[in-house]
């Protein structure tokens, strides 16, 4: 059996997405910047995709800018906010995606900002009281806190964060890459300045994403070169990727409730089966459905003897997953997220992440395989 439990890294393409992309490849080859008929036809399908996404998010089409993915979108929001919005102080958490952490750290190295880190509790949740303290009497601050952690699945209440930021006139950016297409985002009811999306996290193509920029913010491009994206991103648009992104997000919204119920059931089932099969199994991050991303289960195993070989052994058995330990062989290599949670550096951790295509039979196979691997090295 071949099992793909690494959907937080990327998801398989939806057949209908492939269909609309290949149709566009066959029929719409013009350059959208050209003013002739072939160019206008392609420009039209880009704008149709933009309206589709904006409608689903309850935003204005003028607030959606297409990018090469979540990393570029995060970089654009961070770098241009610091330059264009008078930012001298930034607040983030130690467990953000490196697209956020490394970008903010670089801005601090350049002397453009002072960078603060909000405290976490033992499970990795944001201390909102500390966030409030960091914003008290602070200069104009940029706050970047992800909606759901990509490694442990913790959900942050971005509604509450947005209210705190609004109270202190802070600019709020949230990396929503892991939740886009899996939860409904109502941007008309959320005081937020920037969010990001990447198509390949919700059964769309790789190499395309978007940045939502609240209309009250006026920023300049990160990439120069042309007048594309209303002068906000130079470079010929990834037309087929944009078409695929919009279709994938539309399909996600249509089937979201059913898929969420199915995937949450798989996660709950796997957690129960692992607890019965492996003594002293633990779970990183939150475990309750209301505060944990339903597509991710981060598992900490007691079998330290196989820590360095666990993912390789799973791969040999036909199981694709990801993860690691807080440290590897005692060195400072490993998951910065698990280190921030003070996880046992000797225990191996695995992130299993699910999609609508996964089944209980696959869960049974994975649990049995993990159990056998642990028992074989006692």
Point out the residues that are catalytic: 327
The answer to whether residues 161 and 173 touch, using CB atoms and an 8 Å cutoff, is: no
The DSSP code for 33 is T
Domain 3-10+255-375 has CATH 1.10.10.10: no
The answer to whether residues 293 and 287 touch, using CB atoms and an 8 Å cutoff, is: no
Q: What is the value of pTM for the model shown?
A: 0.95
Return the structure tokens found at 47: 């704008």
Q: What is the mean pLDDT of each successive set of 10 residues along the chain, which is 378 residues long?
A: 97 98 95 94 97 98 98 98 97 97 98 97 96 94 98 97 98 98 97 98 98 97 95 96 98 98 98 96 93 97 86 96 59 76 78 98 98 84
* Complete edge-to-edge strand list for the sheet that includes strand 349-353: 282-283, 296-300, 349-353, 322-323
**Rounded alpha-carbon distances, angstroms, from residue 58 to 62, 67, 199, 289:** 12, 20, 18, 25
For 41, other C-beta atoms within 10 Å of its C-beta total 15
- Listing DSSP states for 103-138 in one string gives HHHHHHHTTS-EEEE--B-TTS-B-HHHHHHHHTT-
Domain ranges of the chain: 3-10+255-375, 15-251
CA–CA gap between residue 47 and residue 57 (Å, rounded): 15
pLDDT for residue 155: 98
pLDDT for residue 321: 97
**Residue ranges with strand state E in the chain:** 3-4, 64-67, 89-92, 114-117, 141-144, 171-174, 194-198, 209-213, 282-283, 296-300, 319-320, 322-323, 349-353
Number of residues that this document lists for the chain? 378
CA–CA gap between residue 196 and residue 213 (Å, rounded): 9
CA–CA gap between residue 146 and residue 94 (Å, rounded): 11
SS3 330: coil
Domain 15-251 has CATH 3.30.565.10: no
**Rounded alpha-carbon distances, angstroms, from residue 14 to 4, 132, 200:** 15, 42, 10
pLDDT for residue 276: 97
- Residue-wise pLDDT for 77-116, tens only, equals 999 999 999 999 999 999 999 999 999 999 999 999 999 9
For 36, other C-beta atoms within 10 Å of its C-beta total 9
pLDDT for residue 304: 83
SS3 155: strand
CA–CA gap between residue 171 and residue 193 (Å, rounded): 6
CA–CA gap between residue 14 and residue 353 (Å, rounded): 17
């Amino acid at each position: 059996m071949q099992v793909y439990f690494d959907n937080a890294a990327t998801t398989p393409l939806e057949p209908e997405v492939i269909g609309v992309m290949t149709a566009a490849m066959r029929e719409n080859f013009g350059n959208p910047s050209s003013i002739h008929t072939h160019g206008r036809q392609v420009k039209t399908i880009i704008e149709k995709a933009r309206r589709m996404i904006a409608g689903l998010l309850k935003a204005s089409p003028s607030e959606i800018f297409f990018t090469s993915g979540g990393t570029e979108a995060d970089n654009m929001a961070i770098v241009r906010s610091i330059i264009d919005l008078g930012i001298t102080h930034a607040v983030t958490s130690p467990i953000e995606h490196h697209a956020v952490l490394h970008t903010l750290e670089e801005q601090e190295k350049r002397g453009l900002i002072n960078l603060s880190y909000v405290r976490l509790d033992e499970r990795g949740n944001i201390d909102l009281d500390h966030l409030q303290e960091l914003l008290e009497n602070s200069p104009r601050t940029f706050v970047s806190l992800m909606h759901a952690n990509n490694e442990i699945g913790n959900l942050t209440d971005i509604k509450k964060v947005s209210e705190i930021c609004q109270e202190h006139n802070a600019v709020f950016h949230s990396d929503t890459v892991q939740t886009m297409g899996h939860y409904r985002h109502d941007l008309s009811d959320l005081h937020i300045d920037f969010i990001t999306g990447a198509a390949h996290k919700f059964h769309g193509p790789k190499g395309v994403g978007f940045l939502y920029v609240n209309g009250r913010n006026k920023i300049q491009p990160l990439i120069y070169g042309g007048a594309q994206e209303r002068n906000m991103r130079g470079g010929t648009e990834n037309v087929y990727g944009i078409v695929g992104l919009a279709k994938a997000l539309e399909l996600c919204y249509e089937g979201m409730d059913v898929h969420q119920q199915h995937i949450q059931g798989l996660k709950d089932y796997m957690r129960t089966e692992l607890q019965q099969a492996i003594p002293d199994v633990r779970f990183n991050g939150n475990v309750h459905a209301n505060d944990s991303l339903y597509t991710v289960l981060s598992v900490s195993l007691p079998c330290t003897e196989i820590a360095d070989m666990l993912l390789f052994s799973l791969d040999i058995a036909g199981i694709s997953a990801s993860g690691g330990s807080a440290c590897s062989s005692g060195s400072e290599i490993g998951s910065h997220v698990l280190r921030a949670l003070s996880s046992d550096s000797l225990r191996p951790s695995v992130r299993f992440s699910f999609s609508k295509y996964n089944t209980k039979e696959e869960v049974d196979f994975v649990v049995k395989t993990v159990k056998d691997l642990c028992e074989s090295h006692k």
